[in-house]
Structure 1
Amino acid sequence: MSDFRFIHAADLHLDSPFRGMSHVPDAIRERLRASTFTAFTNLIDLALREQVDFVVFSGDVYDAADRSLRAQLRLQRELQRLATARIPVYIIHGNHDPEDGMHAELTWPDTVHFLSSKEVETIIVYRCGHSEASEPEAIAAICGISYAHKALHENVALSYKRLAGSSLFHIGLLHGNVDGDVGHDNYAPCAKRDLIQAGMDYWALGHIHLRQILHEQEPCIVYPGNIQGRSVKEAGAKGCYIVHVMEGRQTRLTFAPLDDVRWYTESISIEGLESEQALKELVEQVMQNCREASLGRMSVLRLFLHGRGLLHRKLEQNGFVQDLLQVLREEEEYGVSAEGETSNIVWLESLQVDSGSEVDVEHILEADSFLGELFRMARQTNQDLDLYEEIMDQAMESMQGHTRLRHVIEELKDSEDGRALIGRACELAAVLLEEADPRAGGEAS
């Protein structure tokens, strides 16, 4: 078997509407709206530049069953570029773009193959797509099934089979949920063992937007993720895999980023910050880090402020966080030129506060108060084995009739981390009480 290379991509979601991003400047909103198309163009450019032998799309090429005409025509135009280079494409429909969705009657290049929804279909791939050439070289077998309707609840993975007696490299295209990922609809549900036993050499999966390799070799089982993040839930680099198949059916995967807009979720601590200026400069540094990491892309950032410090009271004031957010956005807008150039822009999607008041631990330790007693008990628990045993025994006495809870506490008591956990629990209780009523930490009258 000679070496060959192909691109595995999934979940293009062309023409995704990017809901929830309406209150942004026109140039930034348009950049977001166009980002799925730009990422797709980047994919086609990559395929041509790398001169791969073929490309596979594992479902959800479109964002909606009733696909927009704009998305269909863009797909047709870009796939024609691959057809001109004689690079074939193999596509299955997913839950977002099932076969029964509304679609235009378009003419597709003869190098574009949409796999059937009636049963698992197998197509032989020939070198350079020349299936009618004299003595064409077969290099792989593509197996896959499209969604006929939005929901597919059967374990169709059990229907994938190798061609009898074939030594070709078999690639299974499947849009589904392996081992029940709770973050996604459980369509085409299957277990990893089903895929391993099916006889494929490579599973080109789609549906889960998080890039992950479920199995390294024999077979290789891969989710490439989507090609363009569409919210902070899809943060980080997005793209596809270039798969190099070598002698002995070994595969080497190279991730290629394609995204035009990159999403980030970051957090900073207010601990030690003594002024609004220090906070603004720290936020600006995080934004700059995102700018540099994005390598010319536009970035969208959600930033969390956490920790305990003097500035927490400021963050609680009405309008403070919104004013800071607005100023930082305005400063970024200066980077958008009159022509609407948005490269290198870091749009601050939101500032979210999860901080707390500063706690003077040493003062509380010395206080003649309930808080002081809790903190002193937390410190003692880590050092005094007898006190630890007493606390755990009291906990188990209160668990009479709760067999499972008693079992958990008994395991905790015997663990090396038991005392440390009790200490942390006491400290946490004290901090929560102090935040609910700061006067609780004062001296007793």
Structure 2
Amino acid sequence: MRILHFADAHIDIATHGRHDPVTGLAIRTLDFLKALDTIVDTAIQEKVDLIIFAGDAYKDRTPVPTFQREWGKRMMRLSEAGIPTLLLVGNHDLSPASGRAHALQEYETLAVPHLHVASKPQFLSSADLEGLPLQVIALPWIARSNFMASQELSGADVARVYERLEDRLTQLVSMWLEKADPSLPIVLTAHASVQGAMYGGERSVMLGNDLVLPGSLVRDPRLDYVALGHIHKAQNLNEGGHHPVIYPGSIERVDFGEAADDKFFVIADVQKEGQTRVAWRKLEGRRFIDCFVRLTSGKDFSEKLPAALPGEEVLKDAVVRLVIEYPYELESLLDEPHIRQKTSECLEFHLVRRPQRETRLRLPGDQAVSSLSPLDLLEKYWYVVRSEWEDGEVARLQELASEVMRSVGEGEIADPSAE
């Protein structure tokens, strides 16, 4: 059995920046669709037996029709090619409200040929998979609120809720493994975090708290392959072990937290008795370049700053961030127009300025802290941290503090100990 496994497409997560004049879509959106096209083309050309998509087609459960159309085009190509495709519902595809439709609902509702949607935990036999000599245990994302409602649990103790959910899923998987046909390979697919997995920079796009599956669950020796989704960093959690436990990662870089991560999908040759083999297929995504420079003197602005960025041929069409840290009093030396001219060939350029102020306030030698009123002390505090605030905000905060202290002095705020 040759299985193509991918996850975390998030095709509509990057809708900002420069747009393509032909399609009207953001160029970064086209990057995600190009990666998805590569995956679909490979599945069709290499005639894989099964595709497992381990969740998160979109950035949330309410994609706009344009992105539903683009995802649907690729799914219909797989359907027309006659390739059985299992679509797991991920946390970004699912509404936390009970009874609301998930983002992949139309494929389930319309019963599109060869497209199978797993929106709840289930065991898929060979008959459920169009006669493939394979069995699949599918664990889509489970909303905490839905589980609490079904089990009549209180949300006061979140840790307890997740503990109960983990126990329930472990019992289900154990039961399904007991009933499975031992002569056929067994695949577990889940959209979840697994104990011991390494997180990438995708925390900014993950919603809510995580259910963490125990490592022992995915390493059960009765399994022959584990196809995971949800974590964007590609990794095998059972390297050198009996069967691969794979996060293929997201199909394109989501943000600068993933700048150094290569992107993949996986072709797994699934066999019994520990003979499963995995081939990582690299996706050539958009280059992200993340640069940082610390400047401490005026000389650094002319010497270290120009060297902080690579050559223009490397910057061309890349998504680039330059973080500059420097003393606040040297800010006038920063020539931002020159930097932007040098990076004009980038697809996107993000300049992050971090002026550093002296955080220690020194009082005159003849002045003691005890001689200052609370308002005077607060005013000096604003001076220390004013780089974090606009001047107008500082004035308003100081005025508000004055009103509060005046009202306390006039007895307008009741003593909390008084009855």
The TM-score normalised by the length of structure 1 is 0.61
Aligned equivalents of 1:158 and 1:353: distance in 2? 51
**Which residue identity lines up with residue 251 of structure 2 in the other structure?**
I
Q: Is residue 262 of structure 1 aligned with residue 259 of structure 2?
A: no
Residue 279 to residue 214, structure 1, CA distance change in 2 (3 Å): same
Which residue of 10, 19, 24 maps to 2:7? 10
* 1:254 CA drift (Å): 2.5
Aligned partner of 1:237 among 235, 258, 262: 262
1:83 deviates by 2.4
**Count of residues in Structure 1 that have an aligned counterpart in Structure 2:** 317
Tell me which amino acid in the other structure corresponds to 2:84: P
The CA distance in 2 between the partners of 1:37 and 1:113, in whole Å, is 21
Q: Which aligned pairs between 1:328-407 and structure 2 lie closer than 5 A?
A: 328-330=342-344, 332=345, 345=346, 347-351=348-352
**Whole-Å Cα distance in 1 between the matches of residues 278 and 295 of structure 2?**
41
Q: How does 1:5-44 map to 2 (within 5 A)?
A: 5-18=2-15, 21=16, 24-27=17-20, 30-44=26-40
Residue 51 (structure 1) shift: 2.5
* Cα distance between partner residues in 2 of 1:204 and 1:323: 48
Normalising to structure 2: TM-score of the pair?
A: 0.64
Q: In structure 1, what residue type is equivalent to 2:232? A: H
Structure 1 residue 305: Cα displacement: 5.0
The alpha carbon displacement at 1:304 in A equals 3.9
| RMSD (CA atoms) | 3.7
Q: Is the 8 A contact 2:221 2:242 kept in 1?
A: no
1:192 Cα deviation (Å)?
Answer: 0.7
Structure 2 counterpart of 1:349, one-letter code: H
Aligned residue for 2:133?
A: 139
Tell me what 1:109 maps to.
112
Code of the aligned partner of 1:81: R
Distance 2:268 2:312 in 1: 34
Equivalent position amino acid for 2:322 in 1: L
Match of 1:81 among 77, 80, 89: 77
Aligned to 1:178: 194
* Paired-residue identity, %: 21
Verify: 1:167 aligned to 2:183, yes or no: yes
Tell me which residue corresponds to 1:199.
222
1:89-123 Cα deviation digits (max 9, x unpaired):
11110111127336574645311111241x32224
Query: What is the alpha-carbon distance in structure 2 between the residues aligned to residue 315 and residue 327 of structure 1?
Result: 24
- Select which of 121, 124, 128 maps to 1:122: 124
The answer to whether the 8 Å contact 1:229/1:259 transfers is: no
Cα separation, 2, equivalents of 1:68 and 1:262: 27
CA contact (8 A) 2:5 2:265 kept: yes
Structure 1 position 299, deviation (Å): 2.2
> 1:371 is matched with which residue?
none
Match of 1:63 in 2: 59
CA distance in 2, matches of 1:262, 1:158: 43
The 8 Å contact of residues 294 and 324 in structure 2, kept in 1 or not, is answered as yes
Structure 2 residue identity aligned to 1:144: A
Deviation at 1:251? Answer: 2.9
Confirm or deny: 8 A CA contact 1:96 1:150 kept in the other structure.
no
Q: In 2, distance between residues paired with 1:321 and 1:157?
A: 59
Once residues 287 and 179 of structure 1 are traced to their aligned partners in structure 2, the CA distance between those partners, rounded to angstroms, is 42
2:310 to 278, 285, 293: 285
5+ residue gaps, structure 2, are 148-161, 358-419
Letter in 1 for 2:262: A
CA 1:40–1:253: 2 relative to 1, 3 Å: same
**What is the rounded CA distance, in whole Å, between the counterparts of 2:51 and 2:276 in structure 1?**
16
Does the aligned pair in 1 maintain the 2:296–2:327 contact within 8 Å? no
Q: Which runs of 5+ in 1 are unaligned?
A: 132-137, 292-297, 307-311, 333-344, 357-445
**Residue 389 of structure 1 aligns with which residue?**
none
SS of the aligned residue for 1:230 comes to coil
Residue 346 to residue 69, structure 1, CA distance change in 2 (3 Å) = closer
Distance 1:166 1:290, change over 3 A: farther
1:5: how far off?
1.9
CA contact (8 A) 2:184 2:272 kept: no
SS at match of 2:34: helix
* Cα pair distance change 1:285/1:116, threshold 3 Å: closer
Partner SS for 1:261: coil
- Secondary structure of the corresponding residue to residue 216 of structure 2: helix
Deviation at 1:17, TM superposition (A): 4.3
Q: Name the CA shift for 1:283/1:113 in 2 (closer, same or farther; >3 Å).
A: same
In 2: Cα distance, 1:157 partner to 1:286 partner:
53
